[in-house]
Chains A and B, each alone.
Chain A
């Protein structure tokens, strides 16, 4: 997909209920549709009236200052947020038309389709091979030959195969931080999800490893819908097609990345992007 087509599909959604975005986006498949989402941690109102439509096979960046709710929103998309016992939500999120916040929607099935890469590389203290094979195995794939193929394919997909192919049996903790993070991406690829959520995936990495991951994201969007939370604005500008700006639990502005960074409509977005706060 060229940059041109993105520009043709300019969409705009913000919580002042401008609903023209859905009209403009009509020729794109929507993977996540969030309607009036509210979320509380105990008494803390962490997400307020979120309305977002996220397109398939694009990179959507979520930016905003610390504590603005961007990570919380990301973790709501695969319901990882439920690991916090006091969490409560209202509103609706649909994933390809199915309502996922409903308790009857099996969270394991959701997470099989919606993979996640975390802030800090978190490989299992197992071999590189077993890390990649973890997902397929828990989902019932036990055939050794098939697993071998999945492992190679996933590692190639995350562009780390050449670095680790000779030491698949070694503990993943022997890898560098950047390699560990690409291993974690490969681990996510192994179950071939539709969506990959990335929660500040490069914040613990050095600039060189960061660039490698960014290149990888560009490759991956051919096959996957990617939603990436970052507080690195250059990163959002470099790699994303659309950007949502979160502040105090609200979506201030959601637009094509170019627009957000060149002519934002909201003063607060402009202040944030020009570095006046956050």
Chain B
């Protein structure tokens, strides 16, 4: 290597320049201290959001229960907010929410799980790489589009087979909600099943079990917590889903179990009531918050349950 040294015949002294720059550094050390404070304020906005949600719901719900006894609200089967003698029983809404979610899960549960089994246990890498992004497209379709689809395609289709079904009914949006939730259940369950180590599968396959038997006797039991969590999250999603039921199930507040008829969910009620007319301070206006509070608590419990299940029963491989 050449022995010439480039550092001696140089015109600039970096060392000195840096030392000089260091002297006027009070501004940048202020930045250094200020940045984390500003970022902390940003981060705390998410906490304020939660506090904001809980506070608004809580205060107005309390106002509501001053006007309508809490017992009447939770046990009333009659909901007539607009009538001369209004009644505010939440059971018709709870009923609509539970029935539509149940229909959705009857669709999404089995189909989503089967799809997860196929993707995790049967599909080749190449097939999986094609199918998974396509399922993600399904998950990315806005719910308003599903609502349109339920109202203008699925309902007429059902009615052509089963004429008793009303033009607005809970069955059609329930099914479409299920289709919407399939990718979520498929993807989360597949994650759970894929993380079961291959050694466990090989144990069963090595004894002569078929893939199917291995899946049901080894993989699914091992991944059960993740699968259950995906179902719970699916239910939570169905409970909170708004536009599909609002469009396709109408606004009948009947307390009925007939899935061919129109029913209103909690979410659809919120859309109907908040749609401008209810003036602040009226009982109807406050009922909005009581229903929203009920909805919020329901979904929060579901989400906490999902997290608890997947944490508590997580298999340590």
Residues of A within 8 A of B (CB): 109, 112, 136, 139-141, 146, 149-150, 153, 156-157, 159, 190-192, 215-216, 218-219, 222-223
Contact = CB atoms under 8 A, between A and B. Distances in A.
A246 to B, nearest CB: 30
B1 A222 contact: no
B15 interface: yes
Contact of B22 (A139, A153, A190, A216): A139
B199 interface: no
Given A146-B12, A149-B11, A150-B12, A141 B1 contact: no
A223 B5 contact: yes
Contact of B6 (A109, A140, A141, A156): A156
Interface size class, chain B: 10 to 19
Given A191-B15, A192-B15, A215-B1, 20 more contacts: A109-B22, A139-B17, A139-B18, A139-B21, A140-B17, A140-B18, A140-B21, A141-B17, A141-B21, A149-B10, A150-B12, A153-B6, A157-B7, A159-B1, A190-B14, A192-B7, A192-B14, A216-B1, A219-B1, A219-B5
A159 B5 CA distance: 11
Interface in B12-66: 12, 14-15, 17-18, 21-22
Contacts of B12: 146, 149-150
A20 to B, nearest CB: 34
A179 B86 CA distance: 81
Contacts, number: 48
Given A109-B22, A141-B21, A136 B14 contact: yes
A153 B14 CA distance: 11
B5 A222 contact: yes
Interface in B57-97: none
B310 to A, nearest CB: 28
The 10 closest A-B pairs by CB, nearest first: A140-B21, A139-B18, A192-B14, A192-B15, A215-B1, A156-B6, A223-B7, A153-B6, A139-B21, A141-B17
Contact of B7 (A112, A139, A153): A153
A182 to B, nearest CB: 12
A141 B22 CA distance: 11
A190 B14 CA distance: 8
Contacts of B21: 139-141
A78 to B, nearest CB: 16
A191 B1 contact: no
B33 to A, nearest CB: 13
B7 to A, nearest CB: 6
Contacts of A139: 17-18, 21-22
A150 B7 contact: no
